Homo-oligomer: A and B are copies of this chain.
Amino acid sequence: MSTDFHQKSVSLLSEQLAEKGIDIQELLSKISAFQIAVPSWALGAGGTRFGRFSIGGEPRNLEEKLDDIGLLARLTKKTDAVSLHIPWDIPQDAQAIRQKAAELGISFDAMNSNTFQDYGQSLSYKMGSLSNANAAIRQQAVEHNIQVIEIGKSLGSKGLTVWLADGSNFPGQAHFRKALQWTEESLKSIYSKMPDDWKLLLEYKPYEPNFYHTVIPDWGTSSFLCRQLGGRAKVLVDLGHHLPNTNIEQIVATLMHQGMLAGFHFNDSKFGDDDLSTGSIKPYQLFLIFCELVGGAEENAQAWESISWMIDASHNTKDPIEDLIQALESIAQAYAKALLVDRAKLAQCQVEGDVVGAQEILQDAFLTDVRALVREARVRSGGEDDPLAFYRKEKIREKLIAKRGKNSQASGL
């Protein structure tokens, strides 16, 4: 869009929103303030069990990953933090890494542990980790998590995300109740080692990599475990971790109602944990989720600041940096649209049973073209007019390939 059209669009929107009692300046401030973390494993090409297609120019180490996120931050002004995965990204020199990140305007979001792979540790996680029937393996997995906390402390992180892939592929393989009990005990050991100003973000997922049962398959199990741990353990929602047709926005509301929402892993999906770009498949669902978030925060169910935001997608056929630019833009749009909802009128429709009116109000917000708003907020924050166009015009991927090579491969999946 040309600058001229952009200004005209902002003007017209400003007028229209003013009429609805919405102050565009305040809107722009909120949009600007909203920042989403990027995981360190999202800068390389992803893959499936059937293969992986290299993208070229992938970061070869943690420093280069930070460079890529720094670039993203500079272009989009929508991310200011990285979420590290251990052991993929163990910093050799924590102070140096921390300083480099600070220079790029990047802080350290929640740390991620890994007990779903064998990467040289002494005991195998083939039959599970925190839930393993073997106490020594559970202990090893607990210690790994404690090590991750230690690394995080050295970087200034304030959270530990636990995605427990444990489960079973066949009936009989696992003892459901014991596995749950052992998981509770393991998590308690980890929780007890977590600093007081940290939070534990406990993920759930119904299937994959286990295909009969997963120890923490749903929000109910995750919140049950969190309750056993204490007030700093909360439930992490990954948008792709649900059975077909799940009403995710309702889960978000239910968790906020209990003060149990830790945060998000954003992505999109059509079939399962497809890890597609956020907003690429079900943009209306993303908007509805943000409506719950904005509403829940306004109505003091749970404070906005208490919620963590992160992208968690895979990039099988896209340039990861381009993918992240698209995802950050989609998330910003969904948030901006949710801010447009006339919540007072909506509440009135709900009281009156005006189903048609309620739909009109939500759709009025969703159908509004907020791209000019998001762009205006970005530009005012010092970001690029059009980050994707800039990235392409500047031939950044080509430069990365020239520097890092065609076949560099980032650690991760």
A residues sitting closer than 8 Å to B (CB atoms) are: 1-2, 5, 8-9, 12, 15-16, 19, 46-51, 53, 116-118, 124-127, 133-134, 165, 168-178, 180-181, 206-209, 211-213, 217-221, 223-224, 243-247, 249-250, 253-254, 256-258, 269-272, 274-277, 280-284, 288, 291-292, 296, 299, 301, 316-319, 322-323, 326, 333, 346-347, 349-351, 353, 355-356, 358-362, 366-369, 371, 388, 413
Q: A15-B5, A176-B250 are in contact. Are A271 and B211 (CB under 8 A)?
A: yes
**A204 (CB) vs chain B CBs: closest residue:** B220
Residue with the greatest number of chain B CB neighbours at <10 A, chosen from A173, A249, A254, A283 = A173
Q: Which residues of B contact A208 (CB under 8 A)?
A: 48, 50, 271
Distance (Å) between the CB of A378 and the closest chain B CB? 16
A317 interface neighbour in B118, B173, B219, B224, Cβ under 8 Å: B173
User: When A243-B244, A282-B282 are in contact, do A172 and B322 touch as well, CB less than 8 Å?
Assistant: no
Taking A243-B244, A360-B388 as known contacts, 11 extra A-B pairs with beta carbons closer than 8 A to each other, sorted by chain A number, are A2-B19, A5-B19, A8-B15, A51-B118, A126-B317, A169-B317, A170-B355, A180-B254, A207-B274, A212-B281, A322-B356
Q: Smallest distance from the beta carbon of A366 to chain B beta carbons, Å?
A: 8
Most buried by B among A46, A170, A369: A170
Complex interface: chain B residues within 8 A of A269 (CB) = 211
* Contact A247 to B124, CB < 8 A, known contacts A49-B48, A169-B355: no
- A326 CB → nearest B CB, Å: 7
The answer to whether A253 and B355 have CB atoms under 8 Å apart is no
Q: Which 6 A-B pairs have the closest CB atoms?
A: A220-B220, A172-B358, A176-B253, A211-B274, A48-B209, A244-B244
Residues of B near A12 (CB, < 8 A) are: 5, 8-9, 12
Which residues of B sit under 8 angstroms from A243, Cβ to Cβ? 243-246
Is the CB–CB distance between B175 and A347 below 8 Å? yes
On chain B, the residues within 8 Å of A206 by CB distance are 245-247, 271
The 8 Å CB contact of A213, one of B9, B250, B323, is B250
Q: Which residue of B lies closest to A174 (CB)?
A: B350
Interface residue from B5, B48, B359 paired with A171 (Cβ < 8 Å): B359
Q: Which residues on the B side are within 8 Å of A169 (C-beta)?
A: 274, 276, 316-318, 355
**Cβ-defined partner of A172 (8 Å) among B180, B212, B247, B361:** B361
A–B Cβ pairs within 8 angstroms, 8 of them: A50-B209, A51-B116, A51-B117, A173-B317, A207-B245, A224-B258, A244-B244, A333-B367
